[in-house]
A and B are shown apart, each in its own frame.
Chain A
Amino acid sequence: MIGAERGDAHEAAPFAGVLARLQPECVRLIAQYEESRSALLPILHLFQSAEGWVSPAAIAACAQMLDLPVSVVESTASFYTLFFRRPVGKYMLQPCRGLACIINGAEDAMAHFRERLGVGHLETTADGVFSYEEVECLAACDRVPCMQVNLEFVYDLTPEKIDAMLAEMRAGTYVVAPAPQTATPGGDWHVAPEAKKSPGARGVSNPDDPGGIGDRSGWDMLRRLETDPHPIVVRPTKERLIADGAALLSGETGPQ
C-alpha cells in the first residue's frame, strides 16, 4: 500500500480503536447521500481529525465501508491538498501566498517563518511540533498577511506576532488546540516529500539553481559530453545479454 512504509506496526492496535469509535458516525455520514461514495470526503475528514492525517489504514477502512477499491480512495484523497497522506506536526502552519498577501508583505512573513522554524515549504520540524506549508488564497484578503493554524485563521501577521505564536505553541498554551498525532516523528518526515514535485510535469526544484528549470538532466549530459567524449557505451543486445549472463553465472555482478 502506498505510504505504508511508516508507522503501520505501532498503529495497528490503536487504529482498531479509532475505527470502532468512528464507525457509527461513518454510517450516519453515508446515509446522508443518495450514493454512498459521496461520503468519501467526509469520512476521510473524520479519520484525519482523529489521527492527524489520512493513514493507509484509514484509506483501507474507507474503501471497505464504501465498497470501493483502495486505489480509488487513494486516488481521490491525493487530489485534495487538505488530506495529509503523511503524518504532520501538531501545528499545521499555513501562511497565505495569494495575491493580496504577496503585495502586502507576505514574503517577509514567510521568510520569518522559515528562519524561525528552520524548515521550508511542505516540511515538518524534526520534533514533530510544526509542519509548514505556504498555501493559496485563504479568502481573508482584508486582513493580510493572513494564515491558518490547524485551519483556524490568524490575521495581520507581523514578525512579533509570529514569534509570540510559536513560543506559545512550543509551551502548549496557544489558543488553537494541537492536532492529534498517532505517528511518531522521524528524522526525515515531511508533509509530503513527493509534493515537492510540482503538479503537472514539473521537475524537482533544484536548490542550486533557483528559478531554473527543474530538470537538469540535459545540462548534466552536456557536461559529461564535454569531459568525456564517449559517456554512453552502446552495446549490441546479443553481446550485452551474453556478457550479463556470463557475469551472472560467475556470481560476480548481476545484470546492470
Chain B
Amino acid sequence: MMQLEKVLTAGIGEYNLRDIDVYRAHGGYAQFERALKEMQPDAILEITMKSGLRGRGGAGFPTGRKWSFLPKNGRPRYLVCNCDEAEPGTFKDHELLEQTPHQIIEGILIGSYAIGSRHAFMYIRGEFKRGYEIFMAAVEQARSAGYIGENLLGTGYSLELTVHRGAGAYICGEETALLNSLEGRRGEPRLKPPFPAIKGLYGEPTVVNNVETLGYLPHILRRGPEWFASVGTEKSPGYKIVSVSGHVRKPGNYEIPLGITMRQIIDDVAGGLREGRTFKGIQPGGGSSACLFDEHLDLGYDYESLAGAGSMLGSGAIVVFDDTTDFVKAAHSLVRFFAHESCGQCTPCREGGSWLEMTLERILHGRGVASDVDMLVSVSHQMTGINLCPLGDSIEPFLASVVKRYPEQFYAYVREPKPAVAV
C-alpha cells in the first residue's frame, strides 16, 4: 500500500470532525481567523493563484483566475459552493459533506472573504438529506461560534451563509443551471457568455466553486502556496480526491498527489483487481470521460496526461472494469443516465440521448442490427459540440471508446448477419 498524505481527508474515520470543538482542536477555523484579521482579500487571491489550485468539480479551471474575473464595480457579489455531486462514479463530496462539514464552511468563508462576498450559498444535492442535516447542524455551530453573521470577529466583515437543497437533477451541477435552480427556476443551463463572474446569481457577479476546491483553501493558507504547488505536476499541482469504484478490491475515496500513474492508483491505492481477474478498462474522470485501456495505465493521473490520451480527469471518479464487464450494459447505463438527465433545452442532447438509449436497449434485447452499432458512434458524435452545456457532449467519449475497443461485445448482441470482428 502506497503511503498517502491526507489533507482534506485527514481525520475522517478517526475523530468526529462534525463537532466544531474537535475541528478547532485540529486547527480548524484558525486560517479563517488569520485571514480575516491579518490578510487583505487580494493577498488571498494571490496565494490561491500562486498555489495553482484548479477547480475540482470537473472543468479544472484555475480557481484564482476564476475569482480574478469578477468586475470591480461595487455590485454585490456571491460565492456559491457546488455540492450537487451526481456524476456517475463520483462520491467524494458526499463523504466530505457528511464527515468534515466545518472544513467546507471554512473554505466557503475564506473564499467569500477573498472575493468580497457578503452572502454565500451552499447548494446541496437533494438526495443528500443526511448530509444536509449534518451540514445545517455545523452551520448553526459555526454561527454560534461567531464565524457566520454580522461583524465577524469584530473586523466589520459580515457574511451570511444560506444552505439550499436541490431536488433531483444532475444538470444543476452545471454552474448556470445551479444558479437558475438557486433562483427557484427550472435547472436549465444559461447561454454563456455572460459568464457567472460577470452576470450570475440575481444578475450579479458570482463565483461557483466545488466543495473540494474550497476545502483546500484553509490548507493552502496554512502551509503556503509553495507547498501545494510543489506536489503533483507543474500544470496540475496539488492533491486530488479520487473516488475509485468498480472492480477493485478496496473501492473508496483516496487523496492522491496528482501525477501518480493509473496503475499505481489501481494496484497500490485501491488494492488491485479481484483474484484471478484481468484488466479491461478504466474510466478515469466520471461518466463523461472516455474509457482508457492497458496501454494507458502508466500515464500520470493529471489533467494534461489524461487529456492527451483523449480522456479527462473530470471530477476524479475512477471506475475500473475487469473481464466480467459487459460493456454494452455499461454503455447503456451511462447513456440512459445522460438521456434521463438532459434538461431538454437543446435538441441534439434531448433527442440524441434518448434515441441512443433506445438503440442500446434494442441491441441488448437482441433486436439490433449490425448497423445500429455504427449508428451509436455516429449519432453520439453528431450531438457533440452543439449544445448550450457540456451534458450533450458527455455521451460520446465513453460510448465511442468502448465500441471502438470491444466491438465484438456489441456485435454479440445483434441479429444476423454479424460482421466479422478481429478480436
Contacts and interface: CB of A to CB of B under 8 A. Distances in A.
- Are A and B interaction partners? yes
Interface of A: 32-35, 37-42, 44-45, 66, 75-76, 79-83, 97-100, 102-104, 107, 136-144, 148, 151-153, 198-202, 210-214
Given A100-B89, A103-B325, A198-B339, A76 B184 contact: yes
Contact of B169 (A32, A81, A148, A201): A81
B377 to A, nearest CB: 19
B167 A83 contact: yes
Given A103-B324, A142-B252, A151-B127, 15 more contacts: A34-B76, A34-B119, A41-B166, A76-B184, A80-B126, A80-B187, A81-B167, A99-B333, A102-B329, A104-B247, A137-B89, A142-B243, A144-B251, A200-B351, A212-B365
Contacts of B128: 139
Contact of A142 (B91, B181, B182, B339): B91
Given A80-B187, A137-B88, A152-B129, A100 B340 contact: no
A200 B353 CA distance: 9
Nearest to A40: B184
A143 B85 CA distance: 17
Given A38-B183, A98-B88, A212 B337 contact: no
Judged by DSSP, the binding face of B is mixed
14 contacts: A76-B184, A80-B126, A83-B167, A99-B337, A100-B251, A103-B319, A137-B86, A141-B88, A141-B89, A141-B243, A142-B243, A142-B244, A198-B357, A199-B342
A212 B362 contact: yes
A100 B184 contact: no
Contacts of B182: 38
B366 to A, nearest CB: 8
Contacts of B363: 211
A99 B334 contact: yes
Interface of B: 76, 85-91, 93-94, 119, 125-130, 162, 164-170, 181-188, 202, 243-247, 251-253, 283, 287, 317, 319, 321, 324-326, 329-330, 333-334, 336-337, 339-344, 350-351, 353-354, 357-358, 361-367
B351 A99 contact: no
Judged by DSSP, the binding face of A is loop
A150 to B, nearest CB: 8
A152 B168 contact: no
- The 5 A-B pairs at the shortest CB distance, nearest first, are namely A211-B365, A40-B184, A82-B168, A80-B167, A141-B245
B292 to A, nearest CB: 15
Nearest to B250: A142
B169 A141 contact: no
A136 B342 CA distance: 12
Given A80-B169, A138-B127, A199 B337 contact: no
B358 A139 contact: no
Contacts of A33: 162
B167 A198 contact: no
Nearest to B332: A102
Given A199-B344, A200-B339, A44 B167 contact: yes
